Structure 1
Amino acid sequence: MRIKHRSPIAWQSFFPELVLLSLWTGLYAPLLLYWCDGWINKTISIEHEYFSHGLLGLPFAGYIAWERRQSWQKLSNVVKAWEAIVGLALWLGSLVLYFGTLPDLVNLSLPIGLMGLCLWLKGWAGLRLQAFPLLLVFLATPNQVPYLLAPYTLPLQQFIAGTAGFLLMQFGMDIQVEQIYLFVNDRIVEVAPYCAGLKMLFTSLYVGLIMLYWTGVWRSQVKSTIFIAGIVLISVAANIIRNTLLTYLHGTKRNVLFHWLHDSWGGDLYSAAMLFFLILVLRCIEFWNLESSEIESFGIELEQEGSEASGELL
C-alpha cells in the first residue's frame, strides 16, 4: 500500500502571492468594514449608499477569483517589462491614494491596486483572467458618479411625477402635477433627484450582470441584450409604482406606512421583490430560447423525414 504525498511545489510557488494577498486584505479590512457598516446601517453618504450592491458583489468577486486559482497558478510567472512596470506603478500609486486625504481616491485605490497586482504578478494574461471579478469590485466601489448624474435626471423626474399623477387620477384622487411636484390633499410630494430610481437601476444592472455570468447567458448576445433592456424597463416601472404608492400614502396621511416604504426596511423589501422578479424574467428568456431551439430542431427533423419519404417514392 502506497501513500501518496501531495507535492508542495505548487504551494511554494503560490506562497509569496498568498502572503502579499494577506497583507493586502489586512490593509483594506478597515475600509471594507466601513463600507459594509455604512450600507447595512445606512450611515454612509447618500451617494455612497448607491453602491450597497457591493454586499453581494464583493463576496461573489472573491469567490470567482478563488475558483480560478488553479488557472492563475498555471500562468507563467515571467511577464513582459512593460507589464511589470505598469503593474508596479499602479500598485504603488494605489498605496499613495490609500494613505491620502480624499475619500473617493481612497476608495478607488482598491480596484486600482488589484489591477496592478494582477499585471505585476502574471501580466496581461492574469489581468484578463481576473477581469470579471475586478469589474465587480470596481462597480461596487463608492464614488461620486451618482452626484454627477443627479443634475441630468430632471426629465426622468418629470416623467415619474406625471405618470404617478396620472395613475392616482384613475383612482379618483384630486391631484395636481407641476414639473416634479405633486399636490394632493394640501400636501406636496417632490420627486427628488435621488428618488428618480438611479439606485434601483444601479443595483438591478449590477445584480443582472452577476446573473448573466452565473447562468452563462452572457455568451448569447441576443439573450443578454433582451435581459439588460428588460432590467431598465422593469426598474423604471418599479420606481414609478413606488413613487405612486409614496404619493398616495403621504397624501392620505398614512405617515407610518410612508416612512416604512421610504426610509425603513420596506424599501429594501420592495427592491428585493423586484430583483426576484428579474430572476423570473431571466428564466423566461432561457425557456423561450430553449423552446425556439426545440421547434427549429423539430422542423429540421420533419424536413429530413420528408426528403427521405420522397426519395423512397422515387
Structure 2
Amino acid sequence: MNVGIHHQKGGKLGILLGTVLSTILLGLVTALYYEIFVGLWYDWDHDPNYSHGFIVPFMSVYFVYERWGQLQKLPHQPHLLGIPVLILGVAMLVIGSVGAELFAQRVSFIVVISGLVLLIFGKRILLTLSLPLVFLLFMIPLPAIVVNTIAFPLQIFAAQTASFCLFNLGIPVLREGNLISLAGSTLEVAEACSGLRSLVALLALGTVYAYFSQRQMWKRWTLVLLSIPIAILANAFRVTGTGILANYWGTEAAEGFYHTFEGWIVFVVAFILLLACGTLIGKIGKHSRRQSTMSV
C-alpha cells in the first residue's frame, strides 16, 4: 500500500516537473522565434494568399484541447531521440537565418516543438499531437521557388479550361500561354489568379472538415486529396466567369469588386462541393454495416 502511494506521488511529481520544464522551454522558444512570429503576422496581414494563417494556430490549439483528456492518461516517457530532432530544428533555424530563407526558419519552429515534446513527454504523446503540429504548416507561406513551380502550371490550366468553356459558349477566344484574347479585350491569368490561394485555403479547410466529418483514416485522406482538384477546377471556372463578364460588359466589369466577389462566390461553391463529397464518402460502408448488424 505504501509502495503504491509512493509510486503515485512520484508519478504526479514527474508530471508536474515535466509541465514546469515544458512551460519554461516553451517560453524560451517563443522568445527565440519572436521576430519570426512578427514576420508571419505581417505576411498574413499583407499577403491575401495566406490570410487564413490567422486561424491556423487557433485550430491547432483546439486540436490539442480536444485531445487533452487522452494526453493526461498517457504516460510521460522521455525519449532521447528528441535530442537529434531538436538539433535538426535549431540547425534549420541557423541555416535559414544565414541564408535568409524564411521558410526554413519558420518550419524549424514546428521541428523544435516536436523535438521538445519527444524529449520531455515521449513518442506516444508526440504521435497524439501529430495533427496539431502538422496542421501548423498551413500557416507558413510557401517558398518562392515552390510558388513559381506550382503557380505557372495552374495558370496555364486555368487559361486552357477557361478558353475551352468560352469557346463552347459561343464566345470567340484565342489563347496564347496564360493570355486569353477576346473580341474587345485581353485577359491575363496572372500568378494571383492561378488559384494557389484558394488551393491552400481549401486544403486547410478540407483537412479540418475531413477530421470532424469522417472517422476512418482512408476517408479523411480521400476527402483531403479531393479538395485539391476541386480547388483547381473551381478557379478555372472562376476565370471562365471573368471572361464572360469581360466579353459582354468590358474589362471594367471583370475587375475590382466584382472580381473579388466572384472569387468568394466560387470558393463557397467549392466548399459546398467538398461538403457534398464528404457526405457521399461518409455513406460508404454504412449500408453493409447495417446489414451485418441486422444479421447478428
Task: Tell me the TM-score normalised to structure 1 length.
Answer: 0.73
Give the percent of matched residue pairs that are identical in Structure 1 and Structure 2: 23
**What RMSD over aligned residues (CA atoms) do the two structures have, in Å?**
3.4
In structure 1, stretches of 5+ residues that fail to align are 1-6, 305-314
How many residue pairs end up in the alignment? 283
In structure 2, stretches of 5+ residues that fail to align are 1-8
CA distances 1:272-307 after superposition (whole Å, capped 9, x unpaired): 44224322321232135434543x448x74xx9xxx
Runs of 4 or more consecutive aligned structure 1 residues displaced over 6 Å after TM superposition: none
Distance 1:191 1:74, change over 3 A: same
For the pair 1:253 / 2:250, whether they are aligned, the reply is yes
Q: Name the stretch that deviates more: 175-184 or 85-94.
A: 85-94
The Cα shift of 1:62 comes to 1.5
CA distances 1:159-181 after superposition (whole Å, capped 9, x unpaired): 43232123223433222223332
For 1:1-314, list aligned pairs within 5 A.
11=16, 13-25=18-30, 27-28=32-33, 31-32=36-37, 34-39=39-44, 41=45, 43-44=46-47, 50-81=49-80, 83-90=81-88, 92-93=90-91, 96=94, 101-144=100-143, 147-148=145-146, 150-151=148-149, 156-217=154-215, 219-221=216-218, 223-224=219-220, 226-228=222-224, 230-251=226-247, 252-262=249-259, 264=260, 266-291=262-287, 293-294=289-290, 296-297=291-292, 301=295
The one-letter code sitting in structure 2 at the alignment partner of 1:230 is: L
CA distances 1:47-73 after superposition (whole Å, capped 9, x unpaired): xx5444433332111222233345445
The one-letter code sitting in structure 1 at the alignment partner of 2:271 is: L
1:310 maps to none
In 2, the alpha carbon distance for the partners of 1:129 and 1:116 equals 14
Decide which structure has the larger Cα Rg and report it. 1
The Cα shift of 1:241 comes to 1.0
Distance 1:269 1:36, change over 3 A: farther
Task: Tell me the TM-score normalised to structure 2 length.
Answer: 0.77
The Cα shift of 1:214 comes to 2.0
Could you tell me whether the CA contact under 8 Å between 2:89 and 2:109 is conserved in 1?
no
In 1, the alpha carbon distance for the partners of 2:197 and 2:278 equals 21
In 2, the alpha carbon distance for the partners of 1:88 and 1:168 equals 54
Q: Per the alignment, in what secondary structure is the counterpart of residue 173 of structure 1?
A: coil
Could you tell me whether the CA contact under 8 Å between 1:94 and 1:113 is conserved in 2?
no
